[in-house]
Structure 1
Amino acid sequence: MAPFGIRRFPFGSSLLLQSTRLAQSGLVEGVGGHILRRFSSGVTIEQTLPKWEAEEGKQISEDEIAKIRHAFNAAKEKFLKIPDPDALKEMPQINPKGIYVNKNLRLDKIKVYGFDYDYTLAHYSANLQSLIYDLAKEYLVNELRYPDSCLEFKYDHSFPIRGLYYDKSKGCLMKLDFFGSIEPGGCYFGRHKACLIGDIVQHFVDAKLDFDTSYVYQDVNQAIHHVHCSGLVHRAILSDPTKYLVKNGQLLRFLRRLRENGKKLFLLTNFPYYFVDGGMRFMLGDSLGHQDSWRELFDVVIAKANKPQFYTSEHPFRCYDVEKDTLTFSKVDTFLPNKIYYQGCLKTFLQITKWNGPEVMYFGDHLFSDLRGPSKAGWRTAAIIHELENEIQIQNEDSYRFEQAKFHIMQELLGRLHRTVANSDQSEEYMSLLWEINEERRKARCTMKGMFNKSFGATFLTDSGQESAFAYHIHQYADVYTSKPENFLFYPVEAWLHAPCDIKIMPHHIKVSSSLFKTRLTYGSASSGKIE
């Protein structure tokens, strides 16, 4: 795969130039292409103040710039030294296996636990993404007549992250912040779908082929849909489960603990039963007894549920005959033990089970297919975000916290500088200092981004420290989130989970401030070298 970090985009270059021109003319391009006007009174300080007062204000500004310059130089001196280890030890460590709460949740009120299968109960190795990528590119070449050269593509594990958006008209993958704005530097050509789209678009551009970027998106979607619906990926996984699936005795412990505490359990998945059965037997087989079956852990098992339509449709349930591999014709008006059910809908599910919304909690990894419907239906929801554990581990590292402290010091200095000087008083010293502070902030931001993903940075954060659009959707559709369901083993079954009150959006984020440095920098006199 080509190095995305150095790609240039003919589709997006005009937009960047247009945005620059708009900014210079007092116009700002908003989300969705709307044009917003920057309003200005057009009145300068000199027009509103007597001359002597304007001159006095100018002298005060120069003094403040000198203070900020001294503080900036003092901060840079501190950057050359390793931060105080004692200060780092005092910073709270975030638990990579913690449960993070968006909405208060009393587990003692939860009587029913529901689970998705894929990436929720099932843990996969990194080989799965490459498998889906390879099967999809073969379909594109063999069935949709894409160039044979596409078969040379290799999946790049280091490129994609979750939560990217694709601009079908421009052929760009974008990382958005929680306002829906495009992240600066977060627009790239091009996880398995994102990587395949990126490789094809880049290949076509390099070969100077005439193509429509929206067709590439449709074709890749079709290819990946075929890989799943045809059973190609399911059969490949079951034929070599040790390569793709991860055994998980802790999951069995968690499910058994729920049963022992009188909780009801159900499995609701879009996958066919044979695939789920093969995976569950492999993952739990070493921990289950010889006479035990994973199906005994669940009161209801529903396969091929067709989420998210399951939550809004009125499709009837069908009972699945495991031995004959067929659907029966008898009406389903009750769920029997050790039976498998296909299709169905939420309305009938609630009518049969009599399980009320707030007493049900559903676990899933996909925010829109798994969790948006249950959230709107009144179920409590738990998002399983596997990337969370690794990103928290990075946030806990001293090197990351050091760079974050540097970033926030520069932010504080910039805020001070902007508040001090009026637009009409932007002297040469002001512009020089503004550029230097911005440059130090940029370096810290780039260093932090590279610790996560060199192309897109952190999954949950933008380069500017804002929560990403992906983080916003977690906040919107998940009452709690964690990296694995079995992390609930670290909490009592009757625990009360409370959302912290001192956060912006994501409770696993902690801002590392300038107090990381032993000699605290505070704004003060030029001689003190402090920044308040």
Structure 2
Amino acid sequence: MSSPIPINMRPSSEAGTASPPMGHSPSQGYLDVPAPASRREPLWCELERAGPIEPKRQIFCNRSLSMKQIKAIGWDMDYTIAQYKPKSFEELAYRETVDKLVRAFGYPKSLYELQFDYSFMTRGLVVDKRRGNVIKVDRHKYVKVAYHGFRLLTREERNEAYNRVAVRDEFDEPDYSMVDTLFSLAESYLFCQLVELADKDPSCIPHGRAYAPIWRDVRYAVDLCHRDGSLKREVAANPSKYIHDDPHLVPMLRMLKRSGRKLFLATNSLWDYTHVVMNYLCSGLTGRRKSEEWLRLFDVVIVGAAKPGFFSERRPLFAVDPSDGSLRNTDGGAPIIPIGLDDLPADNGGSTASQVDLGDEDKALVFQGGHYIDLHRMLGVSSGTEVLYIGDHIYGDILRSKKSLGWRTMLVVPELEMELECEAQFADAQDEMRALRQQRDDLADEVERLEWALANGPPAPPAELEQRRAEGRAAVEALRARRQEVKERHSSMLRAYHEAFHPVWGRLLKTGYQNSRYAHQMDRFACLYTAQTSNLGWYAPDRAYRGRIDLMAHEL
């Protein structure tokens, strides 16, 4: 079960139960998921006989995928190969964003007093920029939970804004923003705090109660943190503080490379930061101690990929010199030999041709920018269906690569490990909730049947008719009381069940009984999904992943 929930964190159906904008007491949430295993365990290729794979190591299949058809496997870096420690990293991102808002956007210095609860938010939410709300939506676009700042909207407020409308919103840009990456949690929490401050004293916020410009400023401040290097410098100075070590990562990469696949890294991070992170993850090197040995694990490395534009827009491709990060022009990946001093005529009229050092052939070539066509040419693939790409971002990594290119995809969902643990822990509760739901339906049918009989019964003498109606009304009241009792028990159990996953937003992949919007997108666009990318190491490189059998309601 989750730890006790502070009263100012617990969702309430009563309006006006606002939490102070200075923050909350920390609560149990998805960001408390366990780190990748610190003890090295045998992978698939190291076992004489493999036993059952424990749930947290499993890879789940939405669409059948035969790895024999895959010629190249690629990864995003941030929150995919590199799993950040959410508490320390998100607090850093929050602190730097607040600093940018104060220094660059004219927000009051009182923002420095705000406190950040790193576990309040979760992925899969939607920011309503116009109304200043954060909402959770199911796959049918029904809004089940909504907060304005830290005030839970009543059912009536929620339905009036979102569910009882002539045209249901799509919950897409420009009026909405998806919280579909772990990088978005700090900015979403800060937005809620600023909404509360704006409601309390509009004069203290540059835009008053205009919530959309507040969100725009927060997003610009986050982008500025990435552009000016403030986040990267802090992580580079102390990677172990912000990044989990995964002892299974390198053995998994080596196994897949030995299987004959081409391996590539395609990240939006630039070379300087990528080099720091990959040195720490693959070689344990920090500070000025750096090596290019990690490049031997890959065939191609693309930095500054600018996804999702990489999948649809032609951009210049530059070769990166790993020794100093300098860029050189290329012709579709082939180096262009520049004109240097040695190429110019000397006094004696002689000249020499400058050569480009292509480096060790075993090491990946490093490029910046470009387009997927460049990558396909380097990898020697003729079709997107020959590529498996692994990432953490539904839109930036998974949706566009699959819809536009036909790449096969695997989504990394670290929260899934806790989701599986809670689901197993509450298996009995789920059975009881299903039984209670059926009881509610049965009792409702009995009530309606009796009410119909009372209103449409056969004629009878007045005395007999009155007695029959009195007995019928008593039976109806008894059934209604029983139905209410079962409903309260069912609702209480369902609420406690969701709070066990997350005390504010409930299960990541469910909204009530329906799949959440995030789960719906996972189901549509991720061929595979798992908690850690290194889980590939527990499966045969030529594994045939089988999708589940689709069932309609009448087939259950």
TM (norm. structure 1) is 0.74
Inter-CA distance 227–292: structure 2 relative to 1 (3 Å threshold): closer
Per-residue displacement from partner, 1:51-74 (whole Å, max 9, x unpaired)? xxxxxxxxxxxxxxxxxxxxxxxx
Query: Map of 1:283-432 to 2, 5 A cutoff?
Result: 283-286=281-284, 293-334=293-334, 337=361, 338-355=364-381, 356-376=383-403, 377-397=405-425, 400-422=426-448, 424-425=451-452, 427-432=476-481
The CA distance in 1 between the partners of 2:266 and 2:120, in whole Å, is 31
| Cα offset, 1:157, TM superposition | 2.2
Per-residue displacement from partner, 1:397-420 (whole Å, max 9, x unpaired)? 1xx223222221111112212333
The CA distance in 1 between the partners of 2:400 and 2:445, in whole Å, is 46
Per-residue displacement from partner, 1:133-164 (whole Å, max 9, x unpaired)? 11101111111111222111222122101010
**Matched-pair contact (CA < 8 Å) for 2:133–2:146:** no
The CA distance in 2 between the partners of 1:302 and 1:308, in whole Å, is 13
**Matched-pair contact (CA < 8 Å) for 1:165–1:174:** yes
| Cα offset, 1:440, TM superposition | 0.8
**Matched-pair contact (CA < 8 Å) for 2:272–2:325:** no
| Cα offset, 1:324, TM superposition | 4.4
SS at match of 2:515: coil
The CA distance in 1 between the partners of 2:248 and 2:285, in whole Å, is 9
| Higher helix proportion (structure 1 or 2) | 1
2:68 alignment partner, one of 82, 97, 108: 108
SS at match of 2:368: strand
The CA distance in 2 between the partners of 1:304 and 1:118, in whole Å, is 12
Per-residue displacement from partner, 1:22-73 (whole Å, max 9, x unpaired)? xxxxxxxxxxxxxxxxxxxxxxxxxxxxxxxxxxxxxxxxxxxxxxxxxxxx
Task: Name the residue aligned to 1:271.
Answer: 269
| Cα offset, 1:359, TM superposition | 1.3
Task: Name the residue aligned to 1:71.
Answer: none
Is residue 206 of structure 1 aligned with residue 200 of structure 2?
yes
Amino acid at match of 1:500: R
Is residue 133 of structure 1 aligned with residue 111 of structure 2?
no
Task: Name the residue aligned to 1:493.
Answer: 541
Task: Name the residue aligned to 2:250.
Answer: 252
Inter-CA distance 323–491: structure 2 relative to 1 (3 Å threshold): closer
The CA distance in 1 between the partners of 2:408 and 2:373, in whole Å, is 17
Per-residue displacement from partner, 1:73-132 (whole Å, max 9, x unpaired)? xxxxxxxxxxxxxxxxxxx99712210000001112212101100011112112111110
Inter-CA distance 503–450: structure 2 relative to 1 (3 Å threshold): farther
**Structure 1: runs of 5+ lacking an equivalent:** 13-91, 506-510, 512-532
Inter-CA distance 2–237: structure 2 relative to 1 (3 Å threshold): farther
The CA distance in 2 between the partners of 1:105 and 1:181, in whole Å, is 32
**Structure 2: runs of 5+ lacking an equivalent:** 1-5, 19-51, 151-184, 336-357, 453-472
Query: Map of 1:221-236 to 2, 5 A cutoff?
Result: 221-236=219-234
Task: Name the residue aligned to 2:523.
Answer: 475
The CA distance in 1 between the partners of 2:200 and 2:133, in whole Å, is 15
The CA distance in 2 between the partners of 1:219 and 1:504, in whole Å, is 45
SS at match of 1:419: helix
SS at match of 2:245: coil
Is residue 154 of structure 1 aligned with residue 115 of structure 2?
yes
Task: Name the residue aligned to 1:196.
Answer: 190
**Matched-pair contact (CA < 8 Å) for 2:320–2:327:** yes
**Matched-pair contact (CA < 8 Å) for 1:186–1:456:** no
TM (norm. structure 2) is 0.71
Per mean C-alpha deviation after superposition, the further-off stretch among 432-441 and 211-220 is 432-441
**Matched-pair contact (CA < 8 Å) for 1:112–1:263:** yes
SS at match of 1:284: helix
Inter-CA distance 297–488: structure 2 relative to 1 (3 Å threshold): same
Per-residue displacement from partner, 1:253-277 (whole Å, max 9, x unpaired)? 1000011111100110000111011
SS at match of 2:503: coil
Amino acid at match of 1:460: L
Task: Name the residue aligned to 1:86.
Answer: none
Amino acid at match of 1:171: G
Task: Name the residue aligned to 1:88.
Answer: none
| Cα offset, 1:9, TM superposition | 6.5
Inter-CA distance 386–491: structure 2 relative to 1 (3 Å threshold): same
The CA distance in 2 between the partners of 1:136 and 1:2, in whole Å, is 28
SS at match of 2:135: strand
Amino acid at match of 1:432: A
| Cα offset, 1:366, TM superposition | 0.2
**Matched-pair contact (CA < 8 Å) for 2:73–2:262:** yes
| Cα offset, 1:352, TM superposition | 4.4
Per-residue displacement from partner, 1:283-333 (whole Å, max 9, x unpaired)? 221499x98711111111100010001101011211123344332134334
Per-residue displacement from partner, 1:237-261 (whole Å, max 9, x unpaired)? 0011121012222000100001111
Task: Name the residue aligned to 2:8.
Answer: 3
Task: Name the residue aligned to 1:169.
Answer: 130
2:510 alignment partner, one of 455, 461, 479: 461
Task: Name the residue aligned to 2:46.
Answer: none
SS at match of 2:55: coil
Same amino acid, percent of matched pairs:
25
Inter-CA distance 393–93: structure 2 relative to 1 (3 Å threshold): farther
**Matched-pair contact (CA < 8 Å) for 1:383–1:478:** yes
SS at match of 1:413: helix
The CA distance in 2 between the partners of 1:178 and 1:450, in whole Å, is 20
Inter-CA distance 378–322: structure 2 relative to 1 (3 Å threshold): same
Q: C-alpha root-mean-square deviation of aligned residues, in Å?
A: 2.9
| Cα offset, 1:227, TM superposition | 1.0
Amino acid at match of 1:249: P
The CA distance in 2 between the partners of 1:206 and 1:132, in whole Å, is 25
SS at match of 2:80: helix
The CA distance in 1 between the partners of 2:103 and 2:422, in whole Å, is 42
Inter-CA distance 217–263: structure 2 relative to 1 (3 Å threshold): same
The CA distance in 1 between the partners of 2:305 and 2:97, in whole Å, is 24
Per-residue displacement from partner, 1:488-526 (whole Å, max 9, x unpaired)? 111111111112226689xxxxx9xxxxxxxxxxxxxxx
Amino acid at match of 2:440: L
Inter-CA distance 188–99: structure 2 relative to 1 (3 Å threshold): farther
